[in-house]
Amino acid sequence: MSESRRSLIPSFLYSSDHRLFQATTMSTHLKSQPLISPTNSSVSSNGTSFAIATPNEKVEMYSPAYFAACTVAGMLSCGITHTAITPLDVIKCNMQIDPLKYKNITSAFKTTIKEQGLKGFTRGWSPTLLGYSAQGAFKYGLYEYAKKYYSDIVGPEYAAKYKTLIYLAGSASAEIVADVALCPMEAVKVRVQTQPGFARGLSDGLPKIIKSEGFRGLHKGLVPLWGRQIPYTMMKFATFENTVELIYKKVMPTPKEECSKPVQLGVSFAGGYIAGIFCAIISHPADNLVSFLNNSKGATVADAVKRLGLWGMLTRGLPLRIFMIGTLTGAQWVIYDAVKVLAGLPTTGGASPATALAPSVSA
């Protein structure tokens, strides 16, 4: 097989066992199991796009079924995890909106128990589930598509050389669309969580906002949401991909393909948690801004800055959010990769573009 044909797909875009195809040890296997199967690959009009098979494949890489699997995995990972941490989200949002009343985590917890009981910690779970499930579907599904699309545009050499830029561009593109799906549910969630008596949940909260502010009221927080989520997601995906690659290169005693699936999922959690810490810090000012605007009718960004102050926007609720987002992001990557494994796909990350491909072999 020629080197040019092998390099059409940048190696970092998937993390299957490339060394299975090394000529020095697997020349016979190469002849019977080519990396790109003539019967399974699909070449686009410019001859640069292939669907490649993974080892023990159940779903063909970069096929419609592959992107569908990633979309479902993203929906489950974000919907389940965000709903699970609703109690922490209730505390965080109230600390951001009313810092005089909810002075710290302990104070916020006691006040919520006293005024609303344990049920108060579940407020907003339904818009959270629907909103973040939709967001996760677009976020992960479109990220995988955009990552492949941008790599095909720049070509394998530049895609491998500037892989972090591919991660950043792909994740930003996906998040722009994902936030449009999330924004209406986020508006309802914040109102329900921070304004007791406003509504019981999604069923009465959504029509109440539409009635008082129109459909524009559901999207007034979109620009601040982009300001929070786009940097967050860019940091999340780029840090995760590079962290996982670094873990396998520098920390793990054995190559990724020799690690068991539970170990690989453990690496996914570790990489996700580390990425989550950076995500929380970079997106926290915008998170405070989104909470303020969604809670205050007619409020502007200037009002938020004046009320919260610059230091308050940077730090208010940050320790809780670091813990929350670190755990959340780690769990999301575990769920996402677990669904991919069940579909017969490799876990995300871990391939080194500089070393993954073996020397060229003549076909």
The secondary structure of 30-48, three-state, reads HHHCCCCCCCCCCCCCCCC
Question: What integer is the mean pLDDT of 279-307?
Answer: 77
Structural tokens at position 326: 């670190």
CA distances (Å), 211 to each of 208, 214, 216, 258, in order? 5, 6, 11, 58
pLDDT confidence of residue 351: 61
User: What is the tens place of the pLDDT at every residue in 117-150?
Assistant: 998 899 899 999 999 999 999 999 999 999 999 9
353 within domain boundaries: no
Confirm if 128 and 185 have CB atoms less than 8 A apart. yes
Residue 37 pLDDT greater than 70, yes or no = no
Residue 141's closest CA among 52, 77, 226, 207? Answer: 77
Q: 57, 344 in Cβ contact below 8 A?
A: yes
* The total number of structural domains that make up the chain: 1
Greatest mean pLDDT among 200-204, 243-247, 354-358 lies in 243-247
Cβ atoms of 142 and 173 closer than 8 Å: yes
Query: Is the per-residue pLDDT at 26 higher than 50?
Result: no
Contacts of 197 (CB under 8 A, 6+ apart): none
Return the top range by mean pLDDT from 129-138, 208-217, 277-286.
Answer: 129-138
Please check whether residue 333 lies inside any domain of the structure: yes
pLDDT at 171: 97
Least confident of 31-35, 150-154, 283-287: 31-35
Q: Evaluate whether residue 348 is within a structural domain.
A: no
Answer whether residue 256 is part of any domain. yes
Is 45 part of any domain? no
- pLDDT at residue 102 is higher than 50: yes
Region 18-28 average pLDDT:
36
| pLDDT at residue 297, rounded to an integer | 67
pLDDT for residue 151: 93
CA-CA distance, 28 to 20, in Å (whole number)? 11
pLDDT (0 to 100) of residue 294: 67
Question: Does 201 score more than 80 pLDDT?
Answer: yes
With bands split at pLDDT 50, 70 and 90, how would you rate the model's confidence at 39? very low
The band of 72, judged by pLDDT with boundaries at 50, 70 and 90, is very high
Residue 121 inside a domain? The answer is yes
Look up the domain containing 152 and give its range: 64-343
At 49 the pLDDT is 45
Q: Report the alpha-carbon distance of residue 127 to residue 178 in Å, rounded.
A: 15
Q: What is the mean pLDDT of residues 54-82?
A: 86
Nearest Cα to Cα of residue 124 among 215, 181, 194, 212: 194
Q: Are 347 and 55 in contact (CB under 8 A)?
A: no
SS3 of residue 355 by DSSP: coil
CB 50, CB 43: distance < 8 Å: yes
Whether 35 maps to a domain, the answer reads: no
Taking a C-beta distance cutoff of 8 angstroms, is the pair 244, 352 a contact? Answer: no
pLDDT band at 41 (very low <50, low <70, confident <90, very high): very low
Tell me the CATH number at 282: 1.50.40.10
Q: In a 3-state reduction of DSSP, which class is residue 268?
A: helix
Judge whether 244 and 348 are in contact, CB under 8 Å.
yes
The answer on pLDDT for 354 being more than 50 is no
Question: pLDDT at residue 82 above 70?
Answer: yes
pTM listed for this prediction: 0.74
Neighbours of 22 (CB within 10 A): 15
Rounded (5°) CA angle 136-349-361: 135
Helix (H) or strand (E) holding 348, with range, is: none
pLDDT for residue 14 is more than 50 = no
Is the pLDDT confidence value at 238 over 80?
A: yes
- pLDDT band per the 50, 70, 90 thresholds, residue 183: very high
Residue 213 belongs to some domain of the structure: yes
